[in-house]
Amino acid sequence: MDDKEERKERVKLLRRQQERKNQLPSLLQQTSIIANKDLTENNVLTLEEIDNHRISINSTDFDFNYLNISFPQQKADELFKILQVFAKDLEEENYLILSKWSDIAVLRVKTDFVLMNFQKLIDLDGDSIYLYLLDYSSGFYIDLYTEWWYLDGKAERRPILVLRVFGKQWIKRIAEAL
């Protein structure tokens, strides 16, 4: 890398560190309220660990080995029922990522609170939440977007929740539960 590229990378890192310093306390406070437990900086991967986390995610087969299920947001209770198949796994420490803060914060926490609070987490983020097992063998994300849907006899733009499940074991559990 030449001096110009090194300088550019250094500036990028400094901006990211400053963004983390500014935003992490608020994220931890809001997430702690949703989780009903104290989440601290000790629950957050370092920036270097976040970069390694991304490499690990990109090394999986999740881009082509997944299952999607969509729901109108008003039927989030159906999504909740499906997520129950992961309840035991979510009692353990996992990686939890809120899309908006994915560059500065990956939480390593017991994710039991995600089941009851996925809507609150999505509201906090405004877009998506991601959850991965620590060994990256399985995971899921829930994404919120708006789309035209025909439902209950009429077509209209509706907020849609998409559950994308990764990993053969978790896909198999979902298939068996359906």
65-75 confidence digits (pLDDT tens): 899 999 889 88
CA–CA dist 89, 72 (Å, integer): 26
Question: Residue 172 is part of which domain span?
Answer: 3-177
Structure tokens at 67: 């299952």
One-letter-per-residue 3-state SS of 124-148: HHCCEEEEEECCCCCEEEEEEEEEE
Closest CA to 31 of 22, 41, 18, 17: 41
109-120 confidence digits (pLDDT tens): 999 999 999 999
Give me the chain's average pLDDT, please.
92
Count Cβ atoms within 10 A of the Cβ of residue 47 and give its class: 0-12 exposed, 13-18 middle, 19 or more buried.
Answer: middle
Confidence category of residue 63, pLDDT binned at 50, 70, 90: confident
What average pLDDT does the segment 81-96 reach? 95
23-58 confidence digits (pLDDT tens): 999 999 999 999 999 999 999 999 999 999 999 998
| 140, 86 contact by CB (below 8 A) | yes
Higher pLDDT, 76 or 65: 76
Tally of structural domains, the chain:
1
- Taking the model in full, what pTM does it have? 0.90
Strands 93-98, 66-72: pairing is: unpaired
Confidence category of residue 92, pLDDT binned at 50, 70, 90: very high
What average pLDDT does the segment 1-29 reach? 90
CA–CA dist 14, 28 (Å, integer): 21
